[in-house]
Amino acid sequence: MNILLIEDDKRISDFVLKGLTENGFNVHLSDNGVNAREHILSSEWDIILMDIMLPDIDGVELVKLIRYKKKSTPIIMLSALGDPEDKVNALDSGADDYLVKPFHFKELISRINALVRRTKLNYDKEQNIHQCGDITINTDEHKVLVNNKTIDLSPREYKLLLFLVENKNKVMPRTQILNNVWGINYDNNTNVVDVYISYLRNKMNLTSATLQTIVGTGYMLKDS
């Protein structure tokens, strides 16, 4: 699980980083609002732990930005502000949970696990929507969007793209792509995979950094 921790108090961030790492989580730290904003917009996270009182941009504003960008990443606010009004403001802005400092670390772990379970249940209900960076696929409508612009793909192009999105950030060998998109009995010596990858790149304006060629192996669609 990839966690973004946004906290400017080194004493607290060291404590949380140590505890989360020991519990098997992969944690990245941002110690100010501007740096956190860059990481929020450029990467996908399983959960975000965020202080409210941050340099440059406060936590509530960051939460509003995340929700404005249509990102549904679960957010737990970690704050010394314990007044009900502060909690209501953060939750109404789009946070999912609110934990007042100082807190017991076991409670933080429990809340993370509970929130991730709840998010997974909601995700399982919405598997008709697949995303990778600026690419969105609605499998109910067989609709492909890039930056909210509809892209017309042939049935085979659509099937290839869906397979790559479902396996984003993984190297997919040509033979595996061929077997899943064209069928297991298709001629393994054909270059049809390379041809259709070229079609996708041209139609969707995908850079070589997004749809990567892995020399001697196959292709990988990067979620950026």
Which DSSP letter does residue 102 get? S
- Residue 45 and residue 80 in one domain: yes
- Residue 138 and residue 117 in one domain: no
Domain at 103, CATH number:
3.40.50.2300
Helices (H), the chain: 10-22, 33-42, 59-68, 84-93, 105-125, 155-166, 174-181, 192-204
Q: Which pair of structure tokens corresponds to residue 52?
A: 């409210």
Q: From CA 99, how far away is CA 102, in angstroms rounded? A: 9
Q: The domain containing residue 158 runs over which residues?
A: 129-221
Q: Which pair of structure tokens corresponds to residue 74?
A: 């679960």
- Residue 43 and residue 79 in one domain: yes
Which of 124, 140, 160 lies at the terminal end of a domain, its last residue?
A: 124
- Residue 113 and residue 136 in one domain: no
Measuring CA to CA, which residue among 119, 96, 99 is closest to residue 107? 99
- Residue 107 and residue 170 in one domain: no
> What pLDDT is stored for residue 123 in this prediction?
56
- Residue 57 and residue 119 in one domain: yes
- Residue 30 and residue 103 in one domain: yes
Are the CB atoms for 134 and 147 separated by under 8 Å? yes
- Residue 120 and residue 133 in one domain: no
> What pLDDT is stored for residue 107 in this prediction?
93
> DSSP letters of 162-202?
HHHHHTTTS-EEHHHHHHHHT-TTS-TT--HHHHHHHHHHH
Domain at 176, CATH number:
1.10.10.10
- Residue 43 and residue 115 in one domain: yes
User: Which residues lie closer than 8 Å to 144 by C-beta, 6 or more apart?
Assistant: 135, 136, 137, 150, 151, 153, 158, 161, 204
> What pLDDT is stored for residue 187 in this prediction?
66
- Residue 50 and residue 105 in one domain: yes
User: How large is the C-alpha radius of gyration of the chain?
Assistant: 21
C-alpha to C-alpha distances, 12 to 6, 65, 162, nearest whole angstrom: 11, 24, 42
Q: From CA 121, how far away is CA 106, in angstroms rounded? A: 23
Model's pTM, two decimal places? 0.55
Residue-by-residue pLDDT tens, the chain, 224 positions: 789 999 999 999 999 999 999 999 999 999 999 999 999 988 889 899 999 999 889 899 999 999 998 888 899 999 988 888 888 999 998 999 999 998 899 999 999 988 887 776 665 555 588 889 889 998 888 899 998 899 999 988 999 999 999 999 999 999 899 888 887 566 667 788 999 999 999 999 999 899 999 998 999 999 87
Question: What is the tally of structural domains in the chain?
Answer: 2
Q: From CA 155, how far away is CA 52, in angstroms rounded? A: 47
> What pLDDT is stored for residue 43 in this prediction?
86
- Residue 7 and residue 113 in one domain: yes
- Residue 66 and residue 136 in one domain: no
Which of 124, 153, 177 lies at the terminal end of a domain, its last residue?
A: 124
> What pLDDT is stored for residue 100 in this prediction?
92
Which of 109, 124, 139 lies at the terminal end of a domain, its last residue?
A: 124
